[in-house]
Amino acid sequence: MKRFLYELTESWKIAAAQMVANKTRSMLTALGVIIGIVAVTLMGTAINGISTGFDKSMAVIGDDVLYISQRPWTRMNDWWNYRDRKKIRTEYADKINHAIAATPNSNLMIAVPTMSLLRSVKAGDNSVDGVFILGTTTDYTLISTLDCSEGRFFNELESRGGAEVCVVGYDVADAAFAGRSALDKKVLINGHSFKVIGTLSRQGTFLGLFSLDSIVVIPLPAFKKYFSAKSEADVRVKVRDKTHMADAVDELTGIMRRLRSLPPEKKDDFSINEQQAFKSTLDAVKTTIAIAGLFITGLSLFVGAIGIMNITFVSVKERTKEIGTRKALGARRRTILLQFLIESTALCLVGGLIGLTFAYLMCFGMAAAFPSFPIRFSFGLVIASMIVSVLTGLVSGIAPAWSASRLDPVTALRYE
């Protein structure tokens, strides 16, 4: 046991000396492993980042809300199949709420109508383009995680009466009023004047792709009056318990079919969307990244392993006489086997560490360049990379190490 330990330390020392003596050669050989490790860590980091970013964004939007829309979210490619469906009307919200009230132990809590479009918002000389204008009722506060950092959301009266008041998102307040309070100021939406009665606290971005704070919320009647009354509407329905999502969807489907008076043989002419739909799209993205990453990783590790196997064979050849000498001095087969296995493993480990350093720097650079995209360089990835490196080293070293250990001492000593 002790002997094994000493032989092990000795092998590491030899491996280190060997690498120091052949720096260029070692580095070139480790290149494949370096690239492989960079690929695997970047891939992992990207997947991690997307996942955490997604979860964060979902929490902001609220993952216990169902969206009744004309079209399903996930089917972008055959939208024409849904084009002729009847529009979702904001009046459904009230009817759904009646149905909910009439159902004992309903899985649903409340329905809220929304309409939205993108418009530019002006305040004095400042103009903000592409702001998400959301028309809804005061009940919207019950289904979203929005809250006001300043002022208040519009009340029942303003909501029903279609008062020309609005609640602005952080980005809008910031861009239009540049740090000064937006309260009681006027903003022009599409030329129509609204009074700011509240500012929303900051929500951040959705997956780093677009801001959730570029928003202005106005009462629904005002929206209908000043913007397109025919614009597409959604009804958002909050569920009571998100662990019973399927039941909630069934219940809501039933209510909607009754509202639309669909006979049993007809298919649904509306879509009930949930966050989960995003999740499956996201999973597809993650799988694509993983497959691409694993392919690149696998390929470069394969090439790297062959390079390392080759260089270890060269090393065995070059040091045949040394192997003979070691055997003459009492090295056993497994001693020699261990020595060359450790040499190839050390080479891979160094390659792995260099790869990790590169990947870390790249993540660091990316995080600096795109501060909104959530980048995670996790400890688990470091461990995984190290394991992958060691395995590559062992796999690529086994054949040359085996051949070295089988060398006949006399033949090895005679080798010039």
Using the CB atoms, write b or e for 357-378: b if 16+ within 10 Å: ebbbebbeebbeeeeebbbbbe
Please tell me whether residue 317 binds another protein under the rule CB under 8 A: no
Residue of 142, 157, 306, 410 interacting with another protein (CB under 8 A): 410
Residue of 205, 335, 339, 396 interacting with another protein (CB under 8 A): 335
Please tell me whether residue 402 binds another protein under the rule CB under 8 A: no
- The secondary structure of the chain in percent helix, strand, coil, rounded to multiples of 5, reads 60, 15, 25
Considering beta carbons, is residue 19 or 111 the nearer one to another protein?
Answer: 19
Encoding tokens for residue 283? 């999973």
Considering beta carbons, is residue 317 or 333 the nearer one to another protein?
Answer: 333
Exposure of 400 in the CB half-sphere (CA atoms within 13 A): 29
Closest distance to another protein from the beta carbon of 349 (Å): 21
Considering beta carbons, is residue 131 or 412 the nearer one to another protein?
Answer: 412
Which residues are within 8 A (CB) of 199 and not within 5 positions of it... i.e. 6 or more apart? 148, 149, 150, 151, 167, 168, 169, 170, 173, 181, 182, 183
Please tell me whether residue 320 binds another protein under the rule CB under 8 A: no
Residue of 139, 158, 234, 322 interacting with another protein (CB under 8 A): 322
Residue of 59, 284, 328, 383 interacting with another protein (CB under 8 A): 328
Please tell me whether residue 401 binds another protein under the rule CB under 8 A: no
* Burial of 262 (C-beta count, 10 Å sphere; 0-12/13-18/19+): middle
From residue 269 to residue 308, the character string flagging contacts with another protein as x (rule: CB under 8 A) and all else as - is ----------------------------------------
- Quote the strand ranges of 43-123, DSSP E: 65-69, 108-123
Please tell me whether residue 204 binds another protein under the rule CB under 8 A: no
Closest distance to another protein from the beta carbon of 21 (Å): 6
Question: Quick one: CA torsion of 225, 227, 228, 231, rounded to 10 degrees?
Answer: -110
Closest distance to another protein from the beta carbon of 312 (Å): 18
Encoding tokens for residue 27? 């580095």
**Which spans of this chain sit near another protein (rule: CB under 8 A)?**
2-3, 6-7, 10, 17, 21, 321-322, 324-333, 335, 408-410, 413
